[in-house]
């Protein structure tokens, strides 16, 4: 446990809406609501003027329009938000190299890694005041709320305490007293489901949770959540501020204005979404092994289907083919409201990083290997119905794979479906064929 309030949390106020008001003076002082504008849109950010009408983040747009019909409704301009976000993060990194961004508008800063030595409450207040001024300056007038405390948890609680444009440093030693009357939902990781479970054992506040034993908490909410909850309820939080986090997955999803049941349309959409995922993977020099399709049906039930490749890929053709196959594994005949494609199990190496230094900013001429996994290959590396093979027989699809062998069914334009060949995984005949091509 830190003895000083050396963790700082910055939260930009109504960030998306504030950027819009900054860039369009006619919107200043007026309710502004940023989010999806379609029939199924939800609110991303409401300006403080809109919040007085009860409009909140994650609220359905239809409800927001009912509550505040005269607001300006805007589709998010992420490019603009990203520019301002980068400037703010740069300010934070100048303060301390240890900055952990949580999103475009939020970050933790570890002040023990900064050049400041006075981390008394007064000293941290001075740092925070200067920081707020600088943030406002580099963003052309945006404000942020800053909190500081002896842990991430307390810093975040602090920044929430006075919004907007707030500055709160929680004096070390006063944490439990401060937390005791607060709702358990103040604790990160406690959402509606966990709050409900705790309510059933008579716990509503952090203080009540604190008085419960760890064993009882674990019994109520499970192993991992229970242990961390028991700690956080006592204001014990040793989570470090982590500057670099590795991306674990990349996904794209789309909710349709109206449910779609037509299989051809769904296939087309899944192709388009898979291509966007592949684009982002290659753009970020990532590749992954597991492809997942997410299907939300008309009734909001959500299904995922996934498959794991023997080696990482960023090939749009491979991702698309697998996504299309996975889509067929779920009954979509009653209507689909959302389709998504994701790739996870990302390689911890960057594809082709041996080839490019790219100091000159030129296009790379050397394409990275699309298929890191080459032969020899085990039978289970072949994907029935997906892997295509060409040889003297013509074009063949892998028909079955497993138990050390691969069956391939060939067909030609003239003769149609032709012979079925069974090859052993170690068969040299299989070697020329690369799976997943």
Partner DNA sequence: TCTGGGGTCCTAGGACCC
Q: Give the annotated binding-site residues.
A: 11, 105
Compose the 251-290 pattern: x for residues touching DNA by CB under 7 A, - for all others: xxxxx-xx---------------------x--------xx
Binding status of residue 219 toward DNA by CB under 7 A: no
CB of 92 to DNA, least distance (A): 15
Binding status of residue 200 toward DNA by CB under 7 A: no
Determine the interface stretch with DNA among 114-122, 165-173, 221-229, 389-397 (rule: CB under 7 A): 221-229
With residues binned 3-state (H G I as helix, E B as strand, rest as coil), the percentages for the chain, rounded to 5, are: 35, 25, 40
- Looking at residues 103 to 132 of the shown chain, list those that interact with DNA (rule: CB under 7 A): 103, 105-106
Q: Closer to DNA by CB, 136 or 307: give it.
A: 307
Helix (H) or strand (E) holding 145: strand 144-149
Q: Closer to DNA by CB, 210 or 254: give it.
A: 254
Q: Where are the beta strands (DSSP E) in 235-387?
A: 249-260, 288-297, 302-313, 336-346
CB of 390 to DNA, least distance (A): 26
Count of residues making up the chain:
437
d(CA 83, CA 32): 20
Q: How many residues of this chain bind DNA (CB under 7 A)?
A: 63
CB of 357 to DNA, least distance (A): 26
**Cβ-Cβ contacts under 8 Å for 419 (sequence gap 6 or more):** 393, 409, 410
Q: What is the dihedral of CA 360, 362, 367, 370, to 10 degrees?
A: 90
CB of 413 to DNA, least distance (A): 33
> Cα 46 to the chain's mean position, in Å?
21
Binding status of residue 405 toward DNA by CB under 7 A: no
Which positions make up the binding site for Mg(2+)?
Answer: 11, 105
Q: Of 20, 100, 106, 175, which residue is the catalytic one?
A: 106
Q: Closer to DNA by CB, 119 or 326: give it.
A: 326
- Applying CB under 7 A, among 113, 121, 180, 225 the residue interacting with DNA is 225
Determine the interface stretch with DNA among 22-30, 90-98, 168-176, 184-192 (rule: CB under 7 A): 184-192
d(CA 288, CA 365): 22
Binding status of residue 166 toward DNA by CB under 7 A: no
CB atoms within 10 A of CB 101: 18
d(CA 140, CA 119): 29
CB of 273 to DNA, least distance (A): 8
d(CA 207, CA 25): 45
Q: Closer to DNA by CB, 73 or 410: give it.
A: 73
Q: Closer to DNA by CB, 60 or 77: give it.
A: 60
- Applying CB under 7 A, among 52, 120, 183, 302 the residue interacting with DNA is 302
CB of 118 to DNA, least distance (A): 29
Is 88 within 8 Å of 9 (Cβ atoms)? Answer: no
Q: Closer to DNA by CB, 242 or 420: give it.
A: 242
The β-bridge partners of 389 are 396
- Looking at residues 317 to 356 of the shown chain, list those that interact with DNA (rule: CB under 7 A): 329, 337-338, 340, 342, 344-345
Q: Closer to DNA by CB, 304 or 375: give it.
A: 304
Compose the 364-403 pattern: x for residues touching DNA by CB under 7 A, - for all others: ----------------------------------------
Is 79 within 8 Å of 86 (Cβ atoms)? Answer: no
Q: What is the 3-state secondary structure (H, E, C) of 421-434?
A: EEEECCCHHHCCCC
CB of 334 to DNA, least distance (A): 14
- The answer to whether 362 is a known catalytic residue is no
d(CA 143, CA 163): 10
Binding status of residue 183 toward DNA by CB under 7 A: no
**Cβ-Cβ contacts under 8 Å for 288 (sequence gap 6 or more):** 249, 250, 281, 312, 313, 314, 343, 344, 345, 346, 347
Angle (CA) 296-300-302 rounded to 5° is 45
Cα 346 to Cα 98, 250, 282, 339, distances in angstroms: 25, 9, 12, 21
- Looking at residues 27 to 46 of the shown chain, list those that interact with DNA (rule: CB under 7 A): 36, 39-42, 44
Phi/psi for 329 (5° steps) reads: -85, -5
Q: Could you give the strand order of the β-sheet that contains 32-35, starting from the edge strand earlier in sequence?
A: 43-46, 32-35, 72-74
Helix (H) or strand (E) holding 9: strand 7-12
CB of 374 to DNA, least distance (A): 18
Q: Closer to DNA by CB, 173 or 222: give it.
A: 222
Site residues (vs DNA, CB under 7 A): 36, 39-42, 44, 57-58, 60, 62, 65, 102-103, 105-106, 156, 185, 187-195, 222-225, 245, 247-255, 257-258, 280, 289-290, 292, 299-308, 329, 337-338, 340, 342, 344-345
For the annotated catalytic residues, the residue numbers are 106
């Amino acid at each position: 446990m830190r003895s000083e309030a050396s963790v700082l949390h910055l939260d930009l106020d109504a960030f998306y809406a504030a950027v819009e008001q900054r860039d369009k003076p006619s919107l200043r002082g007026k309710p502004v609501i940023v989010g999806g504008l379609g029939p199924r849109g939800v609110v991303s950010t409401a300006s403080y003027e809109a919040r007085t009408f009860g409009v909140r983040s994650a609220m359905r747009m239809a409800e927001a329009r009912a509550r505040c019909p005269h607001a300006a409704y805007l589709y998010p301009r992420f490019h603009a938000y990203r520019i301002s976000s980068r400037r703010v993060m740069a300010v934070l990194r100048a303060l301390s190299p240890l900055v952990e961004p949580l999103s475009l508008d939020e970050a933790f800063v570890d002040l023990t890694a900064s050049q400041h030595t006075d981390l008394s409450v007064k000293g941290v207040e001075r740092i925070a005041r200067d920081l707020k001024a600088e943030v406002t300056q580099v963003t052309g007038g945006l404000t942020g709320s800053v909190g500081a405390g002896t842990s991430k948890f307390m810093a975040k609680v602090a920044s929430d305490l006075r919004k907007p444009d707030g500055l709160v440093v929680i004096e070390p030693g006063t944490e439990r007293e401060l937390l005791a009357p607060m709702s358990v939902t103040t604790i990160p990781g406690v959402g509606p489901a966990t709050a409900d479970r705790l309510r059933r054992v008579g716990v509503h506040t952090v203080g009540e949770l604190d008085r419960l034993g760890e064993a009882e908490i674990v019994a109520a909410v499970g192993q991992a959540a229970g242990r961390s909850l028991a700690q956080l309820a006592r204001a014990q939080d040793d989570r470090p501020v982590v500057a670099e986090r590795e991306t674990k997955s990349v996904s794209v999803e789309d909710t349709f204005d109206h449910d779609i049941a037509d299989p051809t349309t769904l296939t087309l959409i899944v192709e388009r979404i898979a291509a966007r995922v592949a684009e982002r993977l290659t753009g970020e020099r990532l590749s992954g092994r597991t492809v997942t399709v997410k299907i939300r049906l008309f009734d909001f039930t959500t299904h995922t289907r996934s498959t794991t490749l023997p080696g990482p890929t960023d090939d749009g053709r491979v991702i698309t083919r697998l996504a299309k196959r996975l889509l067929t594994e779920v009954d979509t005949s009653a209507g689909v409201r959302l389709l998504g494609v994701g790739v996870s199990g990302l390689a911890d190496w960057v594809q082709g990083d041996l080839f490019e230094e790219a100091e000159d900013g030129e296009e790379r001429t050397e394409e990275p290997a699309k298929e890191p996994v080459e032969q020899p290959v085990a039978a289970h590396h072949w994907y029935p119905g997906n892997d295509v093979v060409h040889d003297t027989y013509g074009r063949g699809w892998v028909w079955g794979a497993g138990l050390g062998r691969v069956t391939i069914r060939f067909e030609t334009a003239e003769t149609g479906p032709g012979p079925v060949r069974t090859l052993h995984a170690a068969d040299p005949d299989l070697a020329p064929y690369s799976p997943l091509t």
